[in-house]
Structure formats: C-alpha cells, structure tokens
Structure 1
C-alpha cells in the first residue's frame, strides 16, 4: 500500500500532518478518516481500515487534528467545532488534489465530527461511525474530576490513557452545546453504525440513538467484544472488512477498463499485517486473504500460498470437466475436486535430496453417467490448463517497481 505524507492548513492556520494511503492499482474513490478523542491517525483501527480500503481501490486520508500527533497547534485551544473545521480543511485539501471524498469514517468523537461535517460535504455518499457518542458532551466523563478546575481556571491538565493533556474551558462549553439530531436528519448519505455492546467508554445506547435519529439507508453492525479503541488486530480487521463490503453498495467502485495487453488483469497482493503474514489479495472487484497457520506464526485468517495453488488446480479441473460435459450434452449433475499438496523426494532427480511438489487430486462426479463417460472425464481432467502449467516448468520474471 503506497503511502504519501502530506500537510495542509487547519482551522486556525496550523500545519496539520496527514497520510494518504493510496491503492496499488486504479484509484476508484476516496475516504476521509477522523480519529478518536486525543488519539492519532496511526492507531491500529485507522491503519487497518485504510489498508483494507486501499486494497479495493479506495484512497484514504487520515490526519492528526490540531494539537495532536504530528500536527501543529495547541490542543487546549481546540474544541469539537474546530475538529469539524479541520475535517472541512482536510476535505478541501483532497478536493485540490482532485480526490473529493465520497466516504467519511469517524472513530469515537471523530464519529460525531463526521456526522456534523457530512451535510456540508456534497461529495460524500456514505458515512461510517465506530463507537461514536450521540451526545459529544459524553466525552467529558473521561475527565469529570477536572471540570471544576477547568471552569474555574480556564484550563486544566488531565491524564487520558496514561498521557497528559491540557483541556480548555472552550472545549467543555462547545461540546456540551452540540446536538447531532439535526445533522443526522439532513445527513444526505448512507450511514453505517459500528459499535461494541461492551464498550465501556461510549455505551451501546449511543449507537441506538444515532441509528434511530438517522434516515434510511442506514445499517448497524455489532463489534461484539471489541474494546472502544478497537485495539485488537482481529477486531480492527473485522471492522475494516465490514466497512469495505458495506461501502461497495454506495460508492462507485467500477474499475476502469483493463489494459488490452493484460486481458485477465493483475493479481495484486499487499501486506496487511507487518507483524505477521496476513495478506490482502485483490483482483479487480474480488478480494481474498492469504495467511499462514498459527503454528507457523500466522493468524490462520486465509488460505496459505500453497492453498491458493491447490485451489487454482481444483477450480480449473472442475471447470474443464464441466465445459467438456456441457459440450457433449452428458448428464453431469455435479463436480467436486479434493486437492492435497505435499513435497516428496524426487525419485529420478540427480540430487538425491531434491524434493518435488506433489498434488493428489480426487474427483467426484455425480449424475447418470456411464463408466465410459466417467473414464473420459477423468482423462479430460488432465487437460486442465493449470494442471499443464504445474506439470511443466514455468518462468517467473521479477522486476522492482
């Protein structure tokens, strides 16, 4: 996943830091991601969601709000309204690049911010919230003990997630006055609400309030036992997959015409988890996951590389048999193919220690077929193009992009 570092000017003239995660293939749409309260653009959920969307052709801009992460400015001088203004600034930066966002994604308070901002962004077709509060003022419960000092002194230092932050009175006053009901009523975009029932930071009742206040089309998906920050990679991956599948219905993700010299397109494999082996496999509109079993350091969330090879052999075998039986008009009701792969010592190799790949293929044919027809279909299985490719030597040419 190519990533471009860029900056743009925030609501108060400060330079905000951003990452634009770009598709490796055709750019089909653009998403804008708003992180959670006092978080940054680089949290696990943001990275995983951006990677998954980029794999399906959606560029994702994720940035640090004013005073957070790598962005300039004083956090104590910001509030909810300024977050919304920063979102509009990010949208403008994308528009200048010819990449107006059609999808907004907001996490926690960022979810409330995208709801507030969306009605004033004509290009937006879909909005996703993750663990968002219906009442943005809800966030003040994280530092309730410091509110008297904030009101009295105008600012106070609080500890959030083990880190010190200075919260100003303008934030408390501003967030307490925000109501999302009117924004939800005029959203003008499809809405997906993601929330964990056991979220101890923003209760599940917030998801219900958001969902009920919004007009159709709207959807709700539970994140089960995920925590508020969606810190576990498996939960972040699940959220990413749901967003990717749901957004296809509302975004125009039709790929451009394929190059004439690449009739079957390109199979692109992109690393999804640099700490493990999980891979995003994308071919046009089709997506799959590749991985390794847990005992080999993977997370077992997809086929192994050799599993994909076996799948290719099995699929091609079944298709070849079906095509022949259809042409002959034979009563073949169904085909299934079992493939087992192993590496065995080569019997005729010059090197006694050499091993070759061995595929055991078991074919099941159902239908009122004669013994002769079954025997012929077994012969036809060996005509499968993938079978022939595996039996003869292949050449792999590699270049650095």
Structure 2
C-alpha cells in the first residue's frame, strides 16, 4: 500500500510524525488510529489493521503521540488531556487535506483517548476501541513502585514493555481524574468494542463497562486468545477484518465506476506477509478474501490456494448459470450445489507432447427439486455453457506489464 510520511503540530507545538496509509485504488473514506500507551504508530497490530482498511478503500492516519516514537516533545510533560488534543489536531490535519476522518480507532489507552476526543471530531461517524480501559487511571497499575516516586518527586522512570519511560505527576493526576462514562453515553456515534477475555493488562470487565455506558448502535466482539498488544498475526488479521466489515455499515463509501477495460472492477492482490505466501485480496470495498498455500508447501493455510479460487470461480459460475436457466424456464429447482476438483493429468491430445500435462477440472453437480430426467439432462448441458467454463476451455490472453516506479 502507498504510504506518505507527514507531520503536524501537536498540542505543545512540537512536530508529530505520522504515516498516512493510502488505498492503491480509489480513496473512499478515512480512519484515524491512536496507538496504545507508550507504543508507537508502527506497532505490528496497527500496521496490519491499516493495511486491511487500505485494501478496502479506507486511508488510515497513524501517528506518534508527543514524546513517543519519532514525534517531538517530552512524554513526561504530557497528560491524558494532551493526548486527546493531539488526536483532535490529527483529525484537523486530515480535514485540511480534504480527508476528515469518518472512523476513529484506538488501542489500549489510545482507545480511551478516542472515546474522549470523539465528541469534538464531528466528521467521525464510528468509533472502535481495542483493549481499552473504561477508567484511564487503570494504566497507573503498571507503574509499580515508580508510582510513589512520581507522586513524591514529580517524575520517575517507569519500566514498560522492556524500556524506561519517563512519566510525570501531571500525567498521573490527569489520567486518574478522567471520567469517560458520560462521554461514552453522549457519543452519538456507532461504537465497536474489541477486547480479549484473557487480556492481563486491561481486564475484560473494562469492555463490559464501556459497552454498558454506550447507547446503540454498539457492538462487542471478543478477540478470544489474543494478548493485550495483539501480537499474533492471526489475531491482528481477525481484528482488522472485523473493523473493516463493521465500518462499511456506517461510512458513506461511494464506489466510482470501474475503469475502462475492467467491467467488473479491479481485483487487487497484495502480500499480507512477506515471509510466507499469504495474500490479501480485495474486490472493491466490500469483498475480501485471503489466498495462501498449504502448510506442506510453505504457506500458513489461512486461505484457499490460487487453484482453489479458480475452481471456486468455475463452481460458482456453473451454479449461477443453471439457476438462471431454470428460473427462466419456470422449472422447480430447489437447490444447486457444485463440487469442483483440480488436477494435472497427462495430455490425451495427439498434438500435445507425450510428457505434457494439462489442467483437469472435475465437476460434480447436484440438483434438488421436482425435475424430469429431460430437465436434468438439459441443465447438465447448460452447465457447459457457463462463461467461466468457456473461458477455461478456450485459450485466454493474459497481458502483463510492470507499473512504473
């Protein structure tokens, strides 16, 4: 996916560094992503969610809060309210580009921040929280013995995620004073709450409190075995897919007409993981699938193989063609199903080399309904007229070109 690096002024005037992940096709909507406490915009879960949304036509801005990642300023001088202001400024920066965010996504304390900021970001129609605390003060439980030093000395280093983060008293006092319940109740936006039951950092009871405080429309989806940081690829992919499917219901995404020469639009395939074979497949904003290889062939078996998709196309087209014909004739056809198998077999054609192999698709069709034998025979004949069948039987032309860098 194309990515732009941009900066905007944070609450203290420091430059905040952001990545704007853009769709490779038409830009249909925009999301704003707030990362977890002391994390960065480049955390793997954020990257995966951004990639999935970009594949659906939704641009994603993810930025480093003040004093974190590549952004300027000192984190010890920040507070929960300053994080909220940074979010508002990020939304304003997007709006200035004509890309006002329609959906806000926040992970952990970033989720609490988007709940607090949502009321002032008028363009947002939907809000997503991932492992968010209902009480932002919950985060201070991770400070351990350093909390007493912060309160006594005004600032102290806290060991979080394997590194020292300098945290000031102002942050602790501000985060403890924040009350989200009334703001959640007054959202007037669709809400999706994602949380893992075994989250040991922010307990699942937080999701229950957020959900209870919110008005409809609201949804809750469990992340099952995921950890707080959504470190497993399959958990991040699942969360991304849920967010993308859910957001489409609430965003006004007007799909432009397909380009010349592609009457059904562009099917876009891009690598989901560079160390395997998993492919992210998008056909417009609403149709998504994964392609992969079996584990025995070096894949992760999280999607059909390319030949599986080819067989699926043949089976679907066969079923549709039979249904259209029976409907036009007024025949009683209750149900159609098609099994398709693919294999490589030795060519039987006399013109082919003796050792040549050709692709063989075996198709088994089941027809249910009050049909005569003549009708069943006719429908079997019609199956061979399905457009994909004809495409496979005759030679096709594949034109390939390399896009300019």
Range class of TM-score, shorter chain: over 0.9
Matches within 5 A, 1:97-246: 97-246=97-246
| TM-score between both structures, scaled by the size of structure 2 | 0.94
Aligned partners of 1:209, 1:322: CA distance in 2, in Å? 49
Matched, 1:367 2:390: no
**Structure 1 spans left out of the alignment, 5+ residues:** none
Which of the numbers 392, 397, 400 marks the counterpart of 1:398? 400
Aligned partners of 2:98, 2:21: CA distance in 1, in Å? 15
Cα distance, 1:127 vs. partner? 0.5
CA RMSD, aligned part only? 1.6
Question: Measured at CA, do residues 257 and 350 of structure 1 come closer, stay the same or move farther in structure 2, by a change above 3 Å?
Answer: closer
Determine the structure 2 residue equivalent to 1:380: 382
Cα distance, 1:99 vs. partner? 0.2
Determine the structure 1 residue equivalent to 2:82: 82
Matches within 5 A, 1:57-68: 57-68=57-68
Aligned partners of 2:229, 2:117: CA distance in 1, in Å? 22
Determine the structure 1 residue equivalent to 2:325: 324
Once the two structures are superposed, residues 198-256 of structure 1 have per-residue CA deviations (whole angstroms, 9 ceiling, x without a partner) of 11111111111111222222121111221111111111111111111221221112312
Cα distance, 1:369 vs. partner? 2.5
Larger mean Cα displacement after TM superposition, 270-279 or 219-228:
270-279
Aligned partners of 1:223, 1:326: CA distance in 2, in Å? 43
Matches within 5 A, 1:291-330: 291-330=292-331
Aligned partners of 1:322, 1:209: CA distance in 2, in Å? 49
Confirm or deny: 8 A CA contact 2:17 2:64 kept in the other structure. yes
| TM-score between both structures, scaled by the size of structure 1 | 0.95
Confirm or deny: 8 A CA contact 2:21 2:59 kept in the other structure. yes
Aligned partners of 2:329, 2:158: CA distance in 1, in Å? 77
Determine the structure 1 residue equivalent to 2:30: 30
Aligned partners of 2:239, 2:83: CA distance in 1, in Å? 23
Aligned partners of 2:152, 2:333: CA distance in 1, in Å? 82
Cα distance, 1:291 vs. partner? 1.8
Aligned partners of 1:197, 1:331: CA distance in 2, in Å? 49
Cα distance, 1:5 vs. partner? 1.7
Aligned partners of 2:114, 2:273: CA distance in 1, in Å? 27
**Structure 2 spans left out of the alignment, 5+ residues:** none
Once the two structures are superposed, residues 283-309 of structure 1 have per-residue CA deviations (whole angstroms, 9 ceiling, x without a partner) of 223222222222223222222111110
Confirm or deny: 8 A CA contact 2:258 2:266 kept in the other structure. no
Cα distance, 1:389 vs. partner? 0.9
Q: How many residues align?
A: 401
Aligned partners of 1:259, 1:388: CA distance in 2, in Å? 24
